Structure 1
């Protein structure tokens, strides 16, 4: 799908319509926003070719943050893009130049075999090609100005990208997850993502409000694709963050804290999806969200254990 020169690319990570990257084309020049994993590189280059462009026409790879489902393929992709620079949050730039800590952290959680299977080889990016994109940084794509906003909450190394041409934000994980299976007559359904290890609820709510202040028409999520009706979704996300925090606090102090939190998060999301008019039943909802519920529970527990104030 292409609009305003923007193509949504399914990176093929995990399952169909789960992990998106975007291609922006302006005056024969191109930028990718997020890139999936090393295994995603052929899909990105195929999308570029479908627009009649070659790798040397790409000026930018812009990362919303350095979690591996968004940035794991950056090193491999940059080796295929001879003219491109990589723009990333200042906190994320060192991890793109030397990804060893990213690899070590992910390997500790998932194991080396799973890292290779899911993400492939995570390669470094030449430091001379990396641009630190702080709050307000402007990227010029053939005269089309794209503006970076620092958006902590999901991660401290997270930025969102504003495109005035389409009046849309490329939101990474700041505007939550919205899987197309949950779409109903009311439109899209979204839930926050509190993936470990840097979830901060108040910062995430503030970031969502900052995005909404631009009066966007569309949010372009990594998980998954463009969504409209952004004011409603923003209200839903902010309310759910409060609900998730309350559930985390209710589970805290119990020996079975993690199990309680997983169960209560599942109940929260299933009830909200049903109220939204989702065609999925409770079992289907819990199955589709199983990984996200587990990661959200872990992220909330890390936040609890850090002792963050309310």
Structure 2
């Protein structure tokens, strides 16, 4: 088992081994008076979270809150299962996500359409959360965890409409979910600081994403706690790279959509074009050709390509 990592005072990170991959998706543990988890990943990750809590000396009965930044299954799919282990916890969710946690039938249907036969292996079971154990937090609302710490929730669409981020004033950090993109600590250890946007279907909106990043910039935060994966203490560089790559993502997707009208082939071609550009960039930075990160990068880019294709189809030409 991989031990939880302490990031800042009273903030720990558990590796959820989402999709059986290390450093893919993480759960943050806030060890305040009211112990709080941020993100659960999908249900197969729950044993890893329980092991991580044991290593921290925390009983699931001590958990007061489970916060999910948004309801995509790699962030919230395991919330129902986790709640069964946490008799005193409530789940905190965006106003637009609550009904889907109370009745996950549409989430399940959507995931089965995308993942087919792999659905059970990746996500089962997805358990409904009783409405009396859900708490909704809108933009600007707060949550007091101790005398010294009150979290603040910020509506941050772009990746999804049902997405909020959580400002942690004591560490001057933001739990950004997927709005501020993906951080790759595997590359950071190689001396390559690298971030990408995540543009997965079906509510990706580049203009809203840029507006949300502007919200983060205005806070002048010192660190970002990413859903994927871990903490960066260089927010300015993270925002710069995500904005720059977002432009590339849109440009490449537009090029494909003008030439190719078959949706499946669009996704394949966007994936390949983006992957080739990213690989060329990392090769120039000195990354070995066979580095294992490429498997994860291809997976991330493929999901982003689906969202880009969907966005351009929906908007008949995309952004200006």
TM-score by length of 2: 0.90
Distance in 2 (alpha carbons) for counterparts of 1:201 and 1:163: 25
Q: Which residue of 2 aligns with 1:103?
A: 108
Partner secondary structure for residue 226 of structure 1: strand
2:281 counterpart of 1:272: yes
Q: 1:173 aligns with which of 178, 182, 201?
A: 178
Query: What do the CA deviations read for 1:51-76 (whole angstroms, capped 9, x no partner)?
Result: 33222211100001111111110001
Q: Please, which runs of 5 or more residues in structure 1 have no aligned partner?
A: none
Kindly indicate whether the alpha-carbon contact (under 8 Å) linking 1:61 and 1:87 is maintained by their aligned counterparts in 2: yes
Q: What is the distance in 2 between the residues matched to 1:227 and 1:283?
A: 22
Please list, as runs of the form range in 1=range in 2, the aligned pairs for 1:191-206 lying within 5 A after superposition: 191-206=196-211
Superposed counterparts of 1:1-310, under 5 Å? 1-2=5-6, 3-14=8-19, 15-27=21-33, 29-111=34-116, 113-143=117-147, 144-183=149-188, 188-255=193-260, 256-275=265-284, 277=285, 279-281=287-289, 286-307=294-315, 308-310=318-320
Distance 2:296 2:89 in 1: 36
Cα distance in 1 between the residues matched to 2:42 and 2:104: 13
Structure 2 unaligned residues grouped into runs of 5+: none
Report the Cα offset of residue 264 of structure 1: 1.7
Shift of 1:309: 4.1
Which piece of structure 1 moves more, 279-288 or 66-75?
Answer: 279-288
For the structure 1 residues 207 and 99, does the alpha-carbon distance in structure 2 shift closer, same or farther, using more than 3 Å as the test?
Answer: same
Check the 8 A contact 2:271/2:298 in 1, yes or no.
no
Task: For residue 135 of structure 1, give the secondary structure of its aligned residue in structure 2.
Answer: coil
Number of corresponding residues: 307
Residue 280 of structure 1: how far off its partner (Å): 3.4
Partners of 2:90 and 2:268 in 1: how far apart? Answer: 44
Separation in 1 of the partners of 2:305 and 2:97?
A: 24
What TM-score do the two structures reach when normalised by structure 1? 0.93
